[in-house]
Amino acid sequence: MGNLCRIISEKCVGCGLCIRNCPVAAIALIDRKAGIGAACVGCNICFKICPKDAVEKVDVPSRSVQCSCCPVHCNVPEGGYGSCQRYCNNSGQLIRIEPLNIIDPNEIKINNLTGLPDRPLLSGFGAGTNLYSTNVPAKIIAGAKIGDLDVVSCVTETVLSFNGARVKVDTDENIGSNGTPIRRHGVIVGYVNTSEYGSHMLYFGGAELNTGSSGFMVTRTVSDLLNKKPVTVSTDMVKALVLQHGKAPILDGRSTQYMRIGCGSMVSSGFALHWMKVVDECITIDYDITAKMSTHTTSGLRYGLPDSGITPAGTYSSPGRWFGEPGTGWGGSNILKPEDIFADVDKTKAWPGMRVIVTEPTAERAVYYEADENRDLVEKPIPEKVQAVIDLIHSCCEPCRCNVSVCAGFGGGVRNVISRISPILVNQALRAGKLMYTICGNPVHIWEGGGITAECSVEGCPEGAFSWVPTPAGVTPLEVTMTRETFEEIGGYVDAVRPIEEIQKTAPTKTISLNR
């Protein structure tokens, strides 16, 4: 018998929540009532999230293969796919649809500093997943000779509740203050962390959100981001924020194209030797540090410039520097019109004919002023020589983009498939530099401290490498590579080691290159 789900029609109110969350698109709305079709695999998401208890689990005659690669145990119908979209029922046999990714052996070299290969023998992508329990080895453990070195790579597609996606978003526009919730389809899937020099750092997922009431949407969102798909979310500042790895962010239909060269101080004082030839004052509006060239420590005070008498809007910090406020205006600040940056002009210091340029850290916008006989600032066309400095600064700005990293906490179960004796032996070998963690063959940053927490940009990861299962949890490919000697030392599953040539003969494989 297999376990599937069925809609209790008289209870269903047609809210569509089950449709949005079904991973196999088995549910449709007919006459404002949900109905579950033949593609249902019994993952029970709809049963868990229905606000009206309009879904029931039913036993049906077996017409499927039950998957044992995660705790959900999908019942996959003939020709159908499991909820994670990784396995297909092919004539009664469950097949991993992605071939095992073998690294081109000609690319693998021994690192003279570490004594380890510079990449694994194969990728976890395509390896499949095994349920973690005592004395169960990683899904595939491969062995090969690299030069004179016996090398072992343990690979698996790890099911993790302790995972998420960190997204660096290049834009000056205000996405939200620290701690602002990020929502997708109305539910919280992440939070705004902080601003980092012209970028906003966002985090999606993590244990609390993954296992919370909206965990299915959270893990789906993390998977989409890691697989470089466009994802539309919202915050209290942005109704539609489109994020996609490698692409410029889109905020309410506006695509931000250029990353700032630096803060206001960099633009006003770092280019002072250029500005001093064409203007008397440069004010750079910035939500972080608004700068005034004539009194800045590293420009005006250094070169003895006369004070223009202008006091910029903001909170005074130090000579020539004011803290701005985030907003939707110039330089990501709350200054919507450039003239609003002039909080005050001391006419005892200003002089007739004084030349002032107002710009922002990207130099995408600029306005030029000259003081009249009354020392009032009057907007004028930008002179050609002034425009040349603006163009110089703008040419130093890089294109905006989003960069997505996978963040994963590899727990005791993941380490247990490497060492049958104790997970701590894996930690100790990693810290001793005796083994290497990689994700899709790419280097990872290991965070110091207890456990094994890794972070890796998805730049070099193939699309589709990440997925999710409706426990809910994310799925991250993992490779752990070491010498055979180290594998034996940590109590590895030596009997499970198979020569890479044997694996290629007995499983669907493809050879891939990691050279980019």
Q: pLDDT means per 10 residues in the chain (516 residues)?
A: 80 92 91 90 91 87 79 88 92 92 95 92 93 79 95 95 96 91 96 90 96 93 98 96 97 91 94 98 96 97 97 97 93 95 97 98 96 97 98 95 96 91 95 96 94 96 94 95 97 96 93 88
CB count within 10 Å of CB 107 equals 15
The confidence score (pLDDT) of residue 256 equals 84
User: pTM for this one?
Assistant: 0.91
Residue 324 CA to its chain's centroid (Å): 28
Cα dihedral 497→502→506→509 (10° resolution)? 90
The confidence score (pLDDT) of residue 181 equals 98
Residue 412 CA to its chain's centroid (Å): 25
Cα dihedral 316→320→326→331 (10° resolution)? 160
Tokens standing for 499? 């020569």
Rounded Cα distance between 226 and 247, Å, is 13
Domains contained in the chain, CATH given: 2-96 (3.30.70.20), 100-161+411-512 (no CATH), 163-258 (2.40.30), 264-395 (no CATH)
The confidence score (pLDDT) of residue 486 equals 97
The confidence score (pLDDT) of residue 62 equals 67
With beta carbons less than 8 A apart as the criterion, state whether 452 and 437 touch.
yes
Rounded Cα distance between 409 and 447, Å, is 10
Rounded Cα distance between 336 and 334, Å, is 6
Q: Enumerate residues 6+ apart whose C-beta is below 8 A from 86.
A: 69, 96, 97, 98, 128, 129, 157, 467, 475
- DSSP letters along 219-278, please? HHHHHHHHTT--EEEB-SS-S-EEE-BTS--EETTEEP-B--SS-HHIIIIITHHHHTTT
The confidence score (pLDDT) of residue 379 equals 98
